[in-house]
């Protein structure tokens, strides 16, 4: 087969096209499926378990992601060449290792490398060991010790669940009472009760989500975005899995990108290789851009959500060869190219999210929303009941728009939101406020 570019010229001519399995069911997996579906290298595309939106581009398979044996058996049965893991939990549980033992290539790190996301304490210790800039911290297993440290250190302060918390295990405490309550709340969680918590200093600056593709030895930048974690307008309310995002970020200049690669991404890749756990897949660095430069807030070991919904639609390249190169340890040194267009996504969530979201409420107007120029509605937590799309989880839709600049993308996204008929859904109305309000922000 003729390669899509010189970058992939090591692919033997005549090799069969790739059969791909994507694991996951959210908007991140929907946008991944759409991106992979357009590849010239694609053979057959499966997604497990997927969602109703994915059905237009991939065949949905009812696999249990926690059952690695079942996933592996399906891969062998269907001659899967590459597995792309969307969510973090299977990676933390070691699905990449288990599939690797069966001879199945997986775009995603092994269990040890996935600890960068699976344990906040491990990640902070790793940064200390390899000189990666991050905030000062201490780890605790007992509430009394943590509260005593907080009293001495003072507030504001950050309290983090050590284990996985779906993006909601971080509390920025402004008062001592809030900090003490956060310690108690985190240690009540079953996973954190076993592994403890992390207390760290508050970093000041501007947050950026920075992605890189890694093959265990090398890495290349893969775009940046700014997420909106808080539930409500004005960045108020509790933390969520993300209420919206936009890309590109004006703050990420080429010079700053080079510095992030030099000071954070490559030391991480080298550190993992030195530990004998090479990182292969997507490395997500949550950054605080401070006056002193970039500092790491946290790692993710996969595409972010909703970051994937604004980065992948801007990609000029064929995504599939990039993912395969990561999995097989032969990533090119050439940087992926992105469109000049901006992208913005608005997350629509079920009433009651993040505490007790309503489920099973009908959603209409999706086709009408998709007719707005530049708009794609990615399904996050939906199911089909008798031909009607209903809500299935907290974050339900990601309404994504491309535009010549952030302002136009934002206008298109909200125009599409307004066509969706869902009385029990809601969204933030200020996604992209920082970019639109920034001087010259409307020019991008």
Has residue 29 got a pLDDT over 60?
yes
Same domain membership, residue 370 and residue 286: yes
Same domain membership, residue 241 and residue 193: no
Residues recorded for the chain: 444
Same domain membership, residue 162 and residue 71: no
* d(C-alpha 64, C-alpha 152), whole Å: 46
Same domain membership, residue 398 and residue 306: yes
Highest-confidence segment of 42-51, 323-332, 432-441: 42-51
The separation between the first and the last C-alpha atoms of the chain, rounded to the nearest angstrom, is 38
The confidence score (pLDDT) of residue 443 equals 36
CATH number at residue 79: 3.40.50.20
Q: Which of 16-20, 57-61, 388-392, 427-431 has the lowest mean pLDDT?
A: 16-20
* d(C-alpha 333, C-alpha 134), whole Å: 27
The confidence score (pLDDT) of residue 283 equals 98
Has residue 75 got a pLDDT over 80?
yes
Residue 10's pLDDT band (boundaries 50, 70, 90)? very low
Please state the rounded mean pLDDT for residues 315-320. Answer: 96
Same domain membership, residue 216 and residue 352: yes
Same domain membership, residue 213 and residue 190: no
Same domain membership, residue 377 and residue 363: yes
Please state the rounded mean pLDDT for residues 318-335. Answer: 90
Please state the rounded mean pLDDT for residues 209-236. Answer: 96
Q: Model-level pTM? A: 0.92
Strands 382-385, 42-49: pairing kind: unpaired
Q: Which of 93, 108, 123 is the last residue of a domain?
A: 108
The confidence score (pLDDT) of residue 7 equals 30
Calculate Rg over the CA atoms of the chain. Answer: 21
Q: Which of 148, 172, 200 is the last residue of a domain?
A: 200
Residue 9's pLDDT band (boundaries 50, 70, 90)? very low
CATH number at residue 165: 3.30.1490.20
In a domain? residue 11: no
In a domain? residue 14: no
* d(C-alpha 160, C-alpha 152), whole Å: 18
Same domain membership, residue 280 and residue 172: no
Please state the rounded mean pLDDT for residues 183-191. Answer: 81
In a domain? residue 131: no
* d(C-alpha 288, C-alpha 339), whole Å: 25
Has residue 14 got a pLDDT over 60?
no
CATH number at residue 377: 3.30.470.20
* d(C-alpha 242, C-alpha 215), whole Å: 27
In a domain? residue 132: no
Q: Which of 89, 108, 127 is the last residue of a domain?
A: 108
Q: Which of 152-161, 290-299, 432-441 has the lowest mean pLDDT?
A: 432-441
Q: Which of 104-118, 151-165, 359-373, 396-410 has the lowest mean pLDDT?
A: 151-165
Q: What is each CA distance from 23 to 84, 239, 292, 328, 345, in whole angstroms?
A: 6, 25, 39, 18, 22
Same domain membership, residue 381 and residue 249: yes
The confidence score (pLDDT) of residue 13 equals 35
Same domain membership, residue 261 and residue 405: yes
Same domain membership, residue 307 and residue 188: no
The confidence score (pLDDT) of residue 190 equals 57
Has residue 442 got a pLDDT over 50?
no
In a domain? residue 375: yes
In a domain? residue 124: no
Domain that holds residue 142: 137-200
Q: Which of 70-74, 248-252, 264-268, 307-311 has the lowest mean pLDDT?
A: 248-252
* d(C-alpha 261, C-alpha 249), whole Å: 16
In a domain? residue 345: yes
The confidence score (pLDDT) of residue 12 equals 38
Q: What percent of the chain clears pLDDT 90, i.e. is strictly above it? A: 87
Same domain membership, residue 229 and residue 363: yes
Q: What percent of the chain clears pLDDT 70, i.e. is strictly above it? A: 93
The confidence score (pLDDT) of residue 8 equals 27
Has residue 440 got a pLDDT over 50?
no
Please state the rounded mean pLDDT for residues 380-404. Answer: 97
Mean pLDDT of the chain: 92
The confidence score (pLDDT) of residue 325 equals 95
Kindly report, residue by residue over 93-148, the tens digit of the pLDDT: 999 999 999 999 999 999 999 999 999 999 999 999 999 999 999 999 999 999 99
Please state the domain count of the chain.
3
In a domain? residue 54: yes
What single string gives the DSSP state of each residue in 18-82? Answer: EEEEEEE-SHHHHHHHHHHHT-TTEEEEEEEE--GGGGGTSEE----TT-HHHHHHHHHHTT--E
């Amino acid at each position: 087969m003729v390669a899509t570019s010189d970058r992939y010229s090591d692919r033997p001519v005549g090799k069969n096209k790739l059969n791909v399995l994507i694991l996951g069911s959210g908007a991140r997996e929907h946008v991944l499926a759409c991106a992979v579906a357009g590849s010239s290298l694609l053979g057959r595309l499966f997604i497990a378990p997927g969602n109703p939106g994915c059905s237009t581009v991939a065949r949905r398979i009812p696999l249990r992601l926690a059952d690695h044996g079942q996933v592996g058996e399906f891969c062998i049965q269907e001659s899967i060449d590459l597995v792309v893991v969307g969510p973090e939990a299977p990676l933390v549980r070691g699905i990449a290792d288990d599939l690797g033992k069966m001879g199945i290539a997986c775009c995603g790190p092994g269990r040890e490398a996935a600890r960068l996301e699976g344990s906040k304490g491990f990640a902070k210790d790793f940064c200390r060991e390899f000189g990666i800039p991050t905030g000062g911290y201490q780890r605790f297993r007992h509430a009394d010790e943590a509260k005593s440290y907080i009293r001495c250190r003072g507030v504001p302060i950050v309290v983090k669940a050590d284990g996985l918390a779906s993006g909601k295990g971080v509390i920025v405490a402004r008062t001592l009472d809030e900090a003490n309550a956060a310690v108690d709340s985190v240690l009540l969680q079953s996973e954190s009760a076993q592994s403890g918590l992390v207390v760290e200093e508050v970093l000041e600056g501007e947050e950026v989500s920075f992605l890189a593709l890694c093959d265990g030895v090398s890495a290349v930048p893969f775009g940046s975005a700014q997420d909106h974690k808080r539930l409500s307008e004005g960045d108020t309310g509790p933390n969520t899995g993300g209420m919206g995002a936009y890309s590109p970020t004006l703050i990420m200049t080429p010079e700053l990108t080079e510095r992030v690669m030099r000071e954070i991404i490559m030391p991480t890749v080298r550190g993992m290789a030195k530990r004998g756990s090479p990182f292969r897949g997507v490395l997500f660095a949550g950054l605080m851009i401070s006056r002193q430069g970039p500092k790491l807030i946290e790692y993710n070991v996969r595409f972010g959500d909703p970051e994937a919904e604004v980065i992948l639609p801007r990609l000029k390249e064929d995504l599939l060869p990039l993912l395969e190169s990561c999995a097989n340890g032969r990533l090119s040194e050439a940087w992926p190219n992105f469109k000049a267009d901006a992208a913005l996504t608005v997350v629509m969530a079920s009433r009651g999210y993040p505490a007790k979201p309503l489920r099973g409420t009908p959603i209409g107007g999706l086709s009408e929303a998709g007719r707005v120029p530049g708009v794609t509605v990615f399904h996050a937590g939906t199911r089909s009941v008798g031909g009607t799309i209903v809500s299935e989880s907290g974050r339900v839709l990601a309404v994504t728009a491309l535009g010549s600049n952030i302002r136009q993308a934002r206008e298109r996204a909200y125009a599409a939101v307004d066509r969706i008929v869902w009385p029990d859904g809601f969204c933030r109305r200020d996604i992209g406020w920082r970019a639109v309000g920034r001087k010259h922000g409307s020019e991008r």
